[in-house]
């Protein structure tokens, strides 16, 4: 009995350790990118170049880990047809998300960027309905309305709002939503499941290529003409390594818990980022309206996660879900399904 309790405690402690690692790496990477891009700090004001560096670094590291040192194994089953029809769109949307998201940090505060990210479930749901992966319902319409209202209130309370930054951030949100939709189609219709190392092995080179083309036209000439920016090799290497470590931490959390758990951990991370950014950056001025709106949005996100959890339970245990349907229905009026 004692051994079982010790094993249970060790397993739970390890899970919480992975969750804390993910929250720390995810929050730290956001601040790290802001620090590198800021003209007042490292002064590397090229978000497209920074994102391209991340993808090239990830591609090289995945190749070394899987093909040279053979520490990790690439899962089989990838074909040219699957790569062209599924992996390339995922890589393109991943590149778009990172590029636009990093660019937004040059115009808006980290805290406000996180508040705008709360609209993600709305974008995913709308695109999911369009793709036939989601079904419109009154309950989901209410949840999406709550999230949208919260983001609008938070935006109204922003003191130093930059609409250029808002457009970049919302573009990143749309890119991430499309990436998630493509991922779901990839798994459901192609029937191929890849671990994160395999996924990054295939996606990173594609994302790097998608970033290289706009970088040549948008930033290459500026970087050559402007001699005032810094390129501290050690800092940028550590920044790229942190990005790669963040992807691995996502894998560890999902492996030991579930995709829903990491979404909940993401909500905690967002609050940590919002509050810490107010302490670390001078451009962050939080107002009561900001926090109230973000609180409303997070309540909607929590309801959305609850809805997804019930869908997963119903799909994985149809008999149990059917037997408990009266309970779920009775509770649905208060549980934001």
pLDDT at 178: 92
Specify the pTM.
0.81
Task: Round to the nearest angstrom and report the end-to-end CA distance of the chain.
Answer: 38
Contact by Cβ (8 Å): 310, 337 = yes
Distance CA 88, CA 94 (A): 10
Q: How far is CA 142 from the centre of its chain?
A: 24
Residue range 189-232, pLDDT digits in tens: 666 677 778 888 999 999 999 999 999 999 999 888 887 777 78
Distance CA 8, CA 26 (A): 27
Highest mean pLDDT pick, 86-100, 258-272, 309-323: 86-100
Residue range 71-84, pLDDT digits in tens: 888 877 788 888 99
Query: 31 φ, ψ to 5°?
Result: -70, -35
Residue range 277-316, pLDDT digits in tens: 888 776 677 889 988 999 999 999 988 888 877 776 676 6
Residue of 247, 244, 228, 248 whose CA lies nearest to 236: 244
Residue of 299, 306, 309 whose CA lies nearest to 118: 299
Mean pLDDT of 316-336: 40
Region of residue 17 (left: phi > 0; alpha: psi -120 to 50; beta: else): alpha
**Under DSSP, is residue 286 helix (H, G, I), strand (E, B) or coil?**
coil
pLDDT confidence band for 51 (50 / 70 / 90): very high
Residue-range domain boundaries for the chain: 12-219+235-310
Q: Which comes out higher in pLDDT, residue 291 or 319?
A: 291
Q: How far is CA 125 from CA 100, 298, 313, in A?
A: 21, 16, 19
For 331, the token pair is: 């509770």
């Amino acid at each position: 009995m004692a051994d079982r309790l010790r094993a249970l405690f060790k397993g739970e402690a390890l899970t919480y350790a992975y969750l804390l690692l993910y929250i720390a790496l995810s929050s730290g990477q956001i601040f790290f990118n802001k620090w590198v891009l800021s003209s007042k700090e490292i002064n590397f004001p090229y978000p497209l170049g920074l994102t391209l560096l991340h993808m090239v670094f990830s591609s090289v590291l995945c190749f070394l880990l899987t093909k040279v040192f053979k520490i990790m194994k690439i899962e089989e089953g990838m074909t040219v047809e699957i790569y062209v029809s599924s992996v390339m769109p995922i890589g393109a949307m991943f590149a778009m998300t990172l590029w636009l998201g990093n660019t937004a940090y040059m115009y808006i505060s980290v805290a406000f960027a996180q508040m705008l990210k709360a609209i993600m479930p709305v974008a995913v749901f709308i695109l999911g309905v369009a793709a036939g992966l989601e079904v419109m319902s009154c309950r989901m319409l209410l949840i999406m309305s709550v999230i949208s209202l919260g983001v609008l209130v938070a935006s109204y309370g922003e003191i130093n709002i930059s609409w250029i930054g808002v457009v970049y951030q919302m573009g990143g949100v749309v890119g991430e939503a499309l990436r998630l939709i493509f991922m779901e189609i990839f798994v459901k219709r192609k029937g191929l499941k890849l671990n994160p190392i395999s996924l990054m092995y295939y996606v990173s080179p594609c994302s790097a290529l998608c970033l290289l083309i706009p970088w040549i036209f948008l930033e290459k000439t500026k970087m050559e003409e402007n001699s005032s920016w810094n390129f501290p090799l050690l800092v940028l290497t550590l920044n790229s390594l942190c990005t790669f470590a963040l992807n691995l931490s996502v894998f560890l959390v999902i492996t030991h818990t579930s995709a829903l758990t990491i979404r909940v951990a993401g909500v905690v991370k967002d609050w940590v980022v919002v509050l810490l950014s107010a302490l670390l950056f001078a451009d962050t001025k939080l107002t009561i309206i900001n926090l109230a709106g973000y609180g409303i949005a997070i309540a909607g996100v929590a309801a959305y996660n609850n809805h997804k959890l019930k869908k997963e339970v119903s799909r994985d245990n149809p008999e149990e879900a059917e037997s408990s349907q009266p309970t779920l229905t009775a509770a649905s009026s208060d549980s934001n399904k």
